[in-house]
Structure 1
Amino acid sequence: MAWVFVTDAQQRKAVPIVRSLGRHGIQVVAGDSTRWSMAFFSKYCTHWVIYPSPTETPDLFIGWLIDHLKHNTYDALFPIDEKTLDPVTQHLKELCKYTAVPVVDHSTYMKARDKGQTIRIALENDIPCPKTYFVSDVEEVRALAERIDFPVVIKPRQSQGSRGIVYVQSRSKLYPEYCRIHERYPFPLIQEFIPPGGEALGVEALLNKDSEPRAAFVHRRLREYPVSGGPSTLRESVHAPDLIEMGLRLLKALNWYGVAMVEFKVDPRDNTPKLMEINPKFWGSIQLSIVSGIDFPYLLYCVATEGDVTPIFDYQVGVRCRWLLGDFLHFLSNPNRFRLQPSFFQFWGDNLHDDILSRDDPGPVLGMFVSYLAQAFGRKLWRDLWR
């Protein structure tokens, strides 16, 4: 009987990952640092465990994880988010003594997380990017402001979602805004602003240990929250072989192993897809690729345990998947909410799926609400209520 340990069970993407593995007969143990984690409530979660916070106490987390793997037999470990990937990749050799861990080494992982390094590697491999300015001294920004076109985007080298991203409309605002972001995210990038009107697309891929592509998939964003830029709330599978080629070219240049998503945005001025960033882990919209025919979690398990898998690049196009709660927030904050295409009120359809909602496995929805209640009331009060 096969066993896999999946971390970050509170993350929305943990639910389809746990379901995927469980539906293939794999016993899944899910872990997180909070008891009220969505994936714990899935019927495909065989057991759940609470571990020390990987962000607040990374040394305690790694010590706990090594001890847990020593005393329990797993076929693979899936660290699925930055919180756990950071310490796991740093201690990869030690962890691989006890189970298969299908991720890259820490140096490669950090190259993919650092947007500056990603852009440099992309340019070396003829992959289109927004015009980017690399700053090594904050005072350089004063002179830079006099010779570049506006608006521009200040973008942290490492951050999640839209955190730390600032749009600057005028020369006088660039230096103070840059200094403000620099205090929290040292030496952020300055990039040209790609105007609205072009599609946002993601190339999702799996590569084996020899950095050979074994699966690839493309989606386009239809809606996101926040409306100005953030996680997708509705997205659709599309056919884009040229984009897949560019995404795989970049990942192979990094000698990638495992899963990742390469994000592009089409510049409406020249209709060219330009690189935004690499998401060096499982992505939030993983459910879409699964229901479209490419089961990345199970394929990753096969690569980790068997060494390789038969390549799969065919999938159904026109499939849509939504994160209902996020889409509701988009609806509330979008002034054109009643003119959205497709309509927010389209809840059913043969090719419409949801990240979390499932008649087969309704538990994670309950887990989601319990989790939000726990956060709303605060940890201490919640513990007092359940003594």
Structure 2
Amino acid sequence: MSVPRVLILDGLWNKTLAAVRALGLRGFHVAVGEWTRFATALFSNYCSKRLIYPSPKERPAKFLDWLEGELKKNHYDVLMPMEFTTQTLVTSQIERLSKYCRIPFAGVDLALRLHNKAFLMRYAREKGFDIPKTYIIDDLNQLEALTAELPYPVVIKPQMSSGARGIKYVNRKEDFVKLYERVHKQYEFPIVQEFIPDGGDAMGVCLLLNNDSDVRASFVYKRLREYPVRGGPSTLRASIKRDDVRYIAESLLRYFKWTGVAHVEFRVDPRDGTPKLLEINPRFWGSLQLAINAGVDFPYLLYKLAMDGDIDPVNDYKTGVMCRWIIPGDIMHFITNPNRFHMKPGFFDTKIKDDLLSLKDPLPVIGRLSSVITLLYDKEMQDIFLRR
């Protein structure tokens, strides 16, 4: 029986490393690509082949030519882009590329629609889903009138971004127009939402749907720490069971006839205990290693779905499992959190597993640290890390 062969793109990220390790441990031939050789997953013991390609962001046409050539020259069963930019670029050329291997991701138009926070909030409000109070602006002349009615503090969010990129918090009405225009220059017509007070859980629902939009794997986790502290990518998370948010996430994706992996974010409003829908990330998510540790191996399940056409549902997993992103996420949280010595669990708890650190696969740490060096000269790397 032949060894399964997978090509995974976007080797810079921890979620990519999680996929490489998960498939490599199962005996897969895992080729990994990235536009820089200073990429975390390229240093993994489970990386069978290392590839450097033109930047999908800076040179998309060259990247697609390279990708078609690699797929044509070397047999792969499945292609897995891990970042949204790469995923949508690949799926925009699905007819061109799918003749060489399976690409088990939803179409580009649907992915772009669900990734748009303005579209999602409009839809959710129309259908009666609980969301933060949201203001959608399509004319800068609306700003002055809106300034007086906003329930400060508010959050300005780009319609399409990930992590903490472009997010601004506004505490005083005197600052609103200036901060909105600042975000607007880079991310056109961001949305404005009420700030949900601290005290409620932030949760993610991770899902895999088949070609009929039936759920084939689900996983829920709670964010325990984030960086920036006030709201950003999670730096420590724990697996939980939470049927209410899982049901909302599943119903949304089924309605839109989604296929493949997706991640839906919620935050519980402590004022009424209601989980509020925040966004859909129609891609692999940063906390992928936690799901794998808890027993839901999404990369392998996605591979099986692509190859077999369907799989049995996987909904059971261990709760209370914790995993963190220590370099640099949880370190930065510790440095910037005024309550750093009172956190539970504590920063120095050695029992917590990590996205990156592994005695069996130690070299990705070198990849992560070496990528920091490129911040001195590489504009694309600066964009990735300094705007998170």
TM (norm. structure 2) is 0.94
Counterpart CA distance in 2 for 1:226 and 1:153 is: 14
Structure 1 counterpart of 2:347: 344
Secondary structure of the corresponding residue to residue 146 of structure 1: helix
Q: Answer whether contact 1:220 1:237 (CA < 8 A) is retained.
A: yes
Q: What's the offset of the Cα at 1:222?
A: 0.7
Residue in structure 2 matching 1:328, options 326, 331, 338: 331
Counterpart CA distance in 1 for 2:341 and 2:55 is: 42
Instruction: Report the residue type matching 1:353 in the other structure.
Output: K
Secondary structure of the corresponding residue to residue 216 of structure 1: strand
Structure 1 counterpart of 2:382: none
Residue in structure 1 matching 2:237, options 235, 238, 246: 235
Counterpart CA distance in 2 for 1:121 and 1:103 is: 22
Structure 2 counterpart of 1:214: 216
Instruction: Report the residue type matching 2:166 in the other structure.
Output: G
Counterpart CA distance in 2 for 1:314 and 1:277 is: 24
Secondary structure of the corresponding residue to residue 149 of structure 2: coil
Q: What's the offset of the Cα at 1:369?
A: 2.3
Q: What's the offset of the Cα at 1:292?
A: 0.4
Instruction: Report the residue type matching 1:72 in the other structure.
Output: N
Q: Does 1:247 align with 2:249?
A: yes
Structure 1 counterpart of 2:365: 365
> For 1:1-387, what aligned pairs fall within 5 Å after superposition?
1-325=3-327, 326-348=329-351, 352-373=352-373, 375=374, 378=377
Bigger mean CA deviation after superposition, 143-152 or 20-29: 143-152
Q: Answer whether contact 1:157 1:187 (CA < 8 A) is retained.
A: yes
Q: What's the offset of the Cα at 1:173?
A: 2.2
Q: 1:188 to 1:378 in 2, by over 3 A?
A: closer
Q: What's the offset of the Cα at 1:149?
A: 2.0
Note the residue ranges of structure 1 that are not aligned, 5 or more in a row: 380-387
Counterpart CA distance in 2 for 1:64 and 1:364 is: 25
Q: 1:127 to 1:363 in 2, by over 3 A?
A: same
Counterpart CA distance in 1 for 2:241 and 2:283 is: 22
Counterpart CA distance in 2 for 1:180 and 1:133 is: 17
Structure 1 counterpart of 2:383: none
Q: What's the offset of the Cα at 1:181?
A: 1.3
Secondary structure of the corresponding residue to residue 139 of structure 1: helix
Q: What's the offset of the Cα at 1:345?
A: 1.0
Please, what is the CA RMSD of the aligned residues? 1.5
Q: What's the offset of the Cα at 1:376?
A: 5.1
Q: Answer whether contact 1:77 1:99 (CA < 8 A) is retained.
A: yes
Counterpart CA distance in 1 for 2:7 and 2:55 is: 16
Instruction: Report the residue type matching 2:349 in the other structure.
Output: Q
Q: 1:239 to 1:141 in 2, by over 3 A?
A: same
Cα deviations by residue, 1:210-236 (Å, 9 ceiling, x for unpaired) = 111001111101111111211111110
Cα deviations by residue, 1:293-340 (Å, 9 ceiling, x for unpaired) = 110110011111111111011111000001122211211111111111
Q: What's the offset of the Cα at 1:377?
A: 5.5
Instruction: Report the residue type matching 2:345 in the other structure.
Output: P
Aligned-pair identity in percent equals 47
Q: What's the offset of the Cα at 1:125?
A: 3.7
Aligned length: 376
Counterpart CA distance in 1 for 2:149 and 2:372 is: 47
Q: Answer whether contact 1:125 1:250 (CA < 8 A) is retained.
A: no
Secondary structure of the corresponding residue to residue 13 of structure 1: helix
Secondary structure of the corresponding residue to residue 85 of structure 2: helix
Q: What's the offset of the Cα at 1:276?
A: 1.0
Cα deviations by residue, 1:164-214 (Å, 9 ceiling, x for unpaired) = 111122333222222221111111111111111111000000001111100
Q: What's the offset of the Cα at 1:146?
A: 2.4
Q: Answer whether contact 1:121 1:253 (CA < 8 A) is retained.
A: no
Secondary structure of the corresponding residue to residue 99 of structure 1: coil
TM (norm. structure 1) is 0.94
Note the residue ranges of structure 2 that are not aligned, 5 or more in a row: 379-388
Q: 1:208 to 1:189 in 2, by over 3 A?
A: same
Secondary structure of the corresponding residue to residue 208 of structure 2: strand
Counterpart CA distance in 1 for 2:179 and 2:334 is: 30
Cα deviations by residue, 1:19-40 (Å, 9 ceiling, x for unpaired) = 1111122110000000121111
Counterpart CA distance in 1 for 2:155 and 2:17 is: 34
Counterpart CA distance in 2 for 1:329 and 1:365 is: 17
Counterpart CA distance in 2 for 1:337 and 1:10 is: 28
Secondary structure of the corresponding residue to residue 236 of structure 1: strand
Counterpart CA distance in 1 for 2:156 and 2:371 is: 33
Cα deviations by residue, 1:228-254 (Å, 9 ceiling, x for unpaired) = 211111110011011100111111122
Counterpart CA distance in 1 for 2:366 and 2:171 is: 44
